[in-house]
Structure 1
C-alpha cells in the first residue's frame, strides 16, 4: 500500500509538471513495482492518469488556457479508436506488450533529451502569426482557425492517441504535447492544459471500456489513483518554479532506466 501511494504521487507530480508522461511511469510502477501484469496495470493506470489529468484540466479551464474544441475533437476520435487498442492488448502476449512499452519509453526519452530550436512564438491567446503550422490561432479571437487541414490533423492525432491509449494504458500526453508544439502555434501553458483535458477524456473512455470487459480495481489500485490526484495538485503548484530543461533531462533519464529494465524482464 505504501509503495502504491509513493508511485501514485510521483506519477501525478510528473503529469502536473509536464502535461505528459504520467502514464508512461504509471504502468511500469504497477508492473515492476507491484508485480502486476500489463493487462491488470493498464486500466488502473488509465484511471489514475485520467483522474489526475481532470484536476489539472479544470485548473486550466479556470485560467482560460484549454483549447476545449480541439480537446473534444481529439478525444472523440480517441473514443472511436481506443477499443481497437484494447482489443489488441488482449490478443498480444505479455512479453510483446512489455517490449512495445519499453520502445515507447525510449522514444519519449529521446524526444525529451533532444534540444529544440527556440522560436519566438505567440501568446496563448494568439496575438501573433508566425511560422507555417497546420492549426493557427486567429489573431482577432485567439481561437483556432478551423480549416479542413486543421480539423484533419487533430482528428488523426486523436485516432493515434486512442489506439495507443487502449493498447498500452497510457493517456497519450507524450503524443499530444509534441504534436501540438509541432503543428500549432499555441504556447506551452496552453498545450499542457489542453493535453490534460484530452488525457482525462480519453482515459475515462478507456476505463469505461475496461470495466465493461470485467476489469475491477482493488484497494491497492484505489490508493494509487487517490495519491496520483494529490501528486497532480502538487505538480500544478510547482510547474512555474521547476526549470523545464532539468525536468526534461531527469524524466528522460528515468524513462531510459525503466525501459532497459522492462526489456530485460521481457
Structure 2
C-alpha cells in the first residue's frame, strides 16, 4: 500500500501542474487510506505537501509570465486570516467524539472525511462543468475576489485542502485572467495559504514526521515538473472532465468506506 501511495503522490503534483488544482483533493485520501495517517494529522501534512509542491510550480509559471501578484494578494490575505482562525481557534475546540446515533459514534475524524468526500464531489462537478465552458467577466472585481478568498480559507483551514477548484473559477470570473494565468496565480495562492496554515500547526505543537513529509513531497514535486511541462503542450481544461470523474469516484468511495466499513 505504501509503495502505491508514493506512486499516487506523483498525481498530486501532476494535477497541480496541469490544471492548477485538484492535487490537495487527492492528498488527504492518499495519506489516510494508503499511509494510515490520522485524518486530523493528515490535514497538517496535506498543507505542507501541497504548499511545497505549489511553490515549485510557481517558479515555472513565473518564468512563463503566468503570475498575477495583485490578484493573488487580494485573494490570499483574507484567505490566510480565515485559515488561522479555523486551525488555531475553532478546529482545536471541536471534541474528538461529537455525538452517538444508535450506537454509531460520529467523531471528528469521521466528520473530516465525510466533509472532504462531499468537497471532492463538489470539486468533480466543478471540474467537469468548467471544461465545457469558460466565461470571463470584464475587469477585475477585487472585493468579490477577497470574499471568495476568505471562504476558500475556511475550507483550507478545516480540511487542509488548497481549494484550487474554487480558486481557478474565481480568478477566471472575478480577476478576468486567461486560463494559463489563472493556473499559475492559483499555485501562488495555494502556496501562501498552505504555508501559513502549516506554520500555524507548528506553532501549536503538531507532531511532524519530516522524513515522511520530505519523501511524499519529492514524489509530488516530480509530478509537478511533469505536469508543468505538459501544460505547455496540453490544454489542462480538456483534462478536467477526466480528472473530475476520477475525483467523483474517490469521493463516493470515501463515503461508503466511512459509513459501512
TM-score, length basis structure 1? 0.84
> Is 1:230 matched with 2:222?
yes
2:184 to 193, 206, 219: 193
Shift in CA distance, 257/209, structure 1 to aligned 2, threshold 3 Å: same
1:107 to 122, 126, 129: 122
- Post-superposition shift, 1:255? 0.8
SS at match of 1:242: coil
Structure 1 unaligned segments of length 5 or more: list them. 120-130, 137-143, 145-149
**Number of paired residues?**
241
SS at match of 1:31: helix
Shift in CA distance, 242/34, structure 1 to aligned 2, threshold 3 Å: same
Q: Report which of the two has the higher share of helix.
A: 2
| 2:61 matched residue in structure 1 | 60
| 1:17 matched residue in structure 2 | 18
Contact 1:180-1:186 at 8 Å conserved across structures: yes
| 1:166 matched residue in structure 2 | 157
Q: 1:15-69 deviations in whole A, cap 9, x for unaligned?
A: 1011011100111111111111221111111111111111111222222221101
SS at match of 2:132: coil
| 1:241 matched residue in structure 2 | 233
> Is 1:117 matched with 2:150?
no
What's the RMSD between the two structures over aligned residues? Answer: 1.9
> Is 1:80 matched with 2:81?
yes
CA distance in 2, matches of 1:29, 1:38: 11
CA distance in 2, matches of 1:132, 1:72: 20
Contact 2:86-2:154 at 8 Å conserved across structures: yes
Contact 1:5-1:224 at 8 Å conserved across structures: yes
CA distance in 2, matches of 1:85, 1:21: 22
Shift in CA distance, 32/246, structure 1 to aligned 2, threshold 3 Å: farther
| 1:263 matched residue in structure 2 | 255
| 1:40 matched residue in structure 2 | 41
Between 1:54-63 and 1:244-253, the stretch displaced more is: 244-253
Question: Which consecutive aligned stretches of 4+ in structure 1 deviate over 4 angstroms post-superposition?
Answer: none
